[in-house]
Amino acid sequence: KAGVTQTPRYLIKTRGQQVTLSCSPISGHRSVSWYQQTPGQGLQFLFEYFSETQRNKGNFPGRFSGRQFSNSRSEMNVSTLELGDSALYLCASKLTGSSYEQYFGPGTRLTVT
């Protein structure tokens, strides 16, 4: 069974631009979560989607948004990029919203210049 895939793997953007990242979960998994990882803050939860509905949201500004499609694929969008948004963005999927185990993709490395 294929794992979680994320595209693109690497991205360089300029401050003020917007960016969209994509995540395809493991087949059959209906819950997708997004995380931001930085050296200083570690892994921080952004939001979780289940059956196309956002179920949980972390403490991030409204510039960070996401959505989930009927096939469980998910996208996250960051508008008006800031230098501090440079990070590894990780997507994780799990079977249901209450499942314990989640499986991570390789991440998208975003650099904002």
Partner 1 sequence: TQLLEQSPQFLSIQEGENLTVYCNSSSVFSSLQWYRQEPGEGPVLLVTVVTGGEVKKLKRLTFQFGDARKDSSLHITAAQPGDTGLYLCAGVWDSGYSTLTFGKGTMLLVSP
Binding residue (CB under 8 A) for partner 1 from 55, 69, 84, 113:
55
Mask of contacts with partner 1, 65-84, x by CB under 8 A?
A: --------------------
Binding residue (CB under 8 A) for partner 1 from 21, 32, 48, 74:
48
Q: What is the closest distance, in whole angstroms, from the C-beta atom of residue 4 to partner 1 in the complex? A: 7
60 binds partner 1, rule: CB under 8 A: no
Please enumerate in sequence order all residues whose Cβ is within 8 A of that of 111, keeping only pairs 6 or more positions apart, or say none: 10, 11, 12, 13, 86
Nearer residue to partner 1 within complex by CB, 78 or 89:
89
Binding site for partner 1 (CB under 8 A): 4, 33, 35, 41-45, 48, 50, 55-56, 58, 90, 92, 97-98, 100-107, 109
